[in-house]
Copies of this chain bind each other. A is one copy, B any other.
Amino acid sequence: MLNHEERLDLVFRALGDRTRRALVERLVRGPASVSELAAPLTMSLAAVVQHLQVLETAGIVRSEKVGRVRTCRITPEALRAGEAWLGQRRTSWESRLDRLGDVLAESGPSEGSTS
């Protein structure tokens, strides 16, 4: 079991690494095998597999093995959850600024200001 906060922990932490973001960038253009994903990277294959596991436990990627090839693909829900969290905080912040603007406008543009 994995609640919403735990999921966000895993998603944001997973994305907080260039290599893993690079993997995501490759995978949004379509599925790929582990070796295809590893090819452009300078690290060992084992290291790439470990990064993929991080992405997979975060729910960002899923993979299935056919024969000896593991094919990885994006699962967009987790990315959407991260985007949604950020969007909600941004709108919350913006609406606060709006209310603040309203209060300042209410005091009148030429009436006695705060200064």
Please give the residue numbers on chain A whose beta carbons come within 8 Å of chain B beta carbons, in ascending order: 5, 8-18, 21, 24-25, 28-30, 74, 76, 79-80, 82-83, 85-87, 89-90, 92-94, 96
Q: Decide: A89 near B18, CB < 8 A? Known: A12-B13, A13-B13, A83-B83.
A: no
Q: Taking each of A9, A83, A86, A96, which has the highest tally of chain B beta carbons within 10 Å of its own beta carbon? A: A86
Q: A86–B86 Cα gap in the complex (Å)?
A: 10
Structural contact, A96 and B29, CB atoms closer than 8 A: yes
Structural contact, A15 and B18, CB atoms closer than 8 A: no
Give which listed residue, B74, B79, B83, B89, contacts A25 with CB less than 8 A.
B89
Structural contact, A74 and B93, CB atoms closer than 8 A: yes
